[in-house]
């Protein structure tokens, strides 16, 4: 994941929304980041330093010197140089004003003025405070200094009013940091089409033919490319997953025919197409209008082939496009993958095997081999699917950089 070993400072100021900082810290640590927390005095009245110290696995700092009688100095300059990113969440109107005007009356603001890393502000306050001219002026000034604002959200506020001013949810804050570290200039603005998940081919109003695909791999690829700056469209079969990223255009379909039609709509304008969906190979020749009743003995079902989406779109491929396919095999793996790469006019084929423990459907991990048109073979170890998506991003970035 792209926050592994990143050094993140989390600043917490005095707002009822400070409780969300605990979730943010947990998510950052879970993503592999090293986290240190700074709190204003007012923030400690809303959430205890012990909570954030336990979650971050580091002492929480709020004063220039420790209060243990030893007189240890919390060096604001060292903290500012240590961090790869500094996110202040929640950022109250008071904290925004102090930072915008260079007021340096506590450790958090001193570290802000010393920081050489990107600084993110996530405001939280009541709607009239958020709309006030002085707050808007302070936000504009902070942006002019190169800081990054994570907009407050619309919703019910602590006052009981409804409007803008809610601190963005911790998952959104995490995505903002991931997008920053994952951003790649060569990927920015590229149009990427990804298919994911299974398809369901109806037998009757109740039953269907499908497979065990969870969609996790395709969704991880969509998230990774979106955070790198690409314009991502994800055509997804039925899965039990949340949208991968707020920036991803999610098109939900059910059948192979619907997936083909949705993919055709975006294909011509795409720079990269990743066929990560597990499309059902066959569908019932006829769909019963009523539920098929159970009979004694055997039951026969006539099947017909579904559209081969990668094959059909591969025939329409343009010179500037890159096409990536997936091959899940159980035997003659590389031979079958190469045949698929050639027959469907792909640039890369991502091979995984059901013979590898931890790879394939439903797992959070995958083990892949990537083969390109020139015959280059890249082998990768078993990894989390988010890390596999990063490997695929690296390969495509390298290809685009060469071009």
CA 276, 281, 287, 288 torsion: positive or negative?
A: negative
- 344 marked among binding-site residues: yes
Does 281 belong to an annotated binding site? yes
Instruction: Work out the percent of the chain whose per-residue pLDDT is above 70.
Output: 97
User: Is a pLDDT exceeding 70 seen at residue 1?
Assistant: no
* 87 & 134 share domain: yes
- 202 and 162 within one domain: no
**pTM score above 0.85:** no
State mean pLDDT over 391-395: 96
pLDDT digits (tens, 9 = 90+) for 234-291: 999 999 999 998 899 999 999 999 999 999 999 999 999 999 999 999 999 999 999 9
**326 marked among binding-site residues:** yes
**Cα–Cα distance, 18 to 12 (Å, whole number):** 6
Whichever domain contains 99, its CATH number is 3.40.50.1950
Q: What is the pLDDT of residues 77-102, one digit of tens each?
A: 889 999 999 999 999 999 999 999 99
Mean pLDDT of 96-121: 95
Would you please indicate which residues are annotated as catalytic (active-site) residues?
211
**For the chain, what is the total number of helices (H) and then of strands (E)?**
13, 21
Contact 386, 3 (CB under 8 A): no
Same domain as 234, residue 124: no
If one counts the domains in the chain, the total is 2
Residue 159: is its pLDDT beyond 90?
no
In a domain, 122, yes or no: yes
Domain annotation covers residue 265: yes
Q: 221: closest CA among 257, 195, 191, 200?
A: 195
pLDDT digits (tens, 9 = 90+) for 309-355: 999 999 999 999 999 999 988 888 899 999 999 999 999 999 988 77
Residue 161: CB atoms within 10 A of its CB come to 11
The reply to whether 305 falls in a domain is yes
* Structural domain for 147, as ranges: 7-181
Tell me if 69 is assigned to some domain: yes
Task: Give residue 141's pLDDT.
Answer: 97
Provide the pLDDT for residue 75: 81
Average pLDDT of the residues in 117-122: 97
What's the pLDDT at 127? Answer: 93
The answer as to whether 319 is a domain residue is yes
In a domain, 328, yes or no: yes
């Amino acid at each position: 994941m792209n926050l592994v070993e990143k050094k993140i400072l989390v600043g917490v100021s005095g707002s009822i929304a400070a409780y969300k900082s605990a979730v943010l810290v947990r998510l950052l640590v879970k993503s592999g980041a090293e986290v240190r927390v700074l709190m204003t005095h007012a923030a400690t009245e809303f959430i205890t330093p012990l909570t954030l110290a336990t979650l971050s696995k580091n002492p929480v700092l709020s004063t220039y010197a420790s209060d243990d009688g030893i007189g240890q100095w919390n060096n604001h300059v060292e903290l500012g140089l240590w961090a790869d990113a500094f996110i202040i969440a929640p950022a109250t109107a008071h904290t925004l004003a102090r930072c915008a005007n260079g007021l340096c009356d506590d450790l958090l603001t001193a570290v802000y003025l010393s920081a050489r890393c990107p600084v993110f502000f996530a405001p939280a306050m009541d709607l009239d405070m958020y709309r006030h001219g002085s707050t808007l002026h302070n936000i504009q000034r902070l942006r002019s200094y190169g800081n990054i604002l994570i907009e407050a959200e619309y919703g019910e506020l602590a006052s009981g009013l409804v409007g803008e001013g809610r601190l963005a949810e911790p998952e959104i804050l995490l995505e903002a940091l991931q997008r920053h570290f994952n951003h790649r200039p060569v990927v920015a603005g590229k149009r990427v089409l990804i298919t994911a998940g299974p398809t369901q081919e109806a037998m009757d109003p109740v039953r269907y033919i499908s497979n065990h695909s969870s969609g996790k791999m395709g969704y991880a690829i969509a998230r990774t490319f979106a955070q790198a700056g690409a314009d991502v469209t994800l055509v997804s079969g039925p899965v039990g997953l949340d949208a991968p990223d707020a920036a991803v255009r999610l098109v939900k379909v059910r059948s192979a025919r619907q997936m083909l039609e949705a993919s055709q709509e975006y294909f011509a304008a795409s720079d990269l197409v990743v066929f990560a969906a597990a499309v059902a190979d066959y569908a019932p020749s006829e769909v019963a209008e009523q539920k098929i009743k159970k009979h004694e003995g055997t039951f026969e079902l006539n099947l017909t082939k579904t559209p081969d989406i990668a094959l059909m779109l591969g025939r329409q491929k343009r010179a500037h496009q890159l096409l990536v396919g997936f091959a899940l095999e159980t035997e003659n793996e590389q031979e079958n993958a190469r045949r698929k790469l050639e027959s469907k006019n792909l640039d890369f084929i991502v091979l995984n095997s059901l013979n590898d423990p931890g790879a394939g459907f439903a797992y959070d991990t995958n083990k892949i081999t990537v083969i390109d048109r020139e015959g280059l073979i890249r082998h990768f170890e078993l990894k989390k699917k988010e890390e596999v998506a990063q490997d695929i991003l690296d390969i495509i970035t390298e290809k685009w950089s060469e071009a």
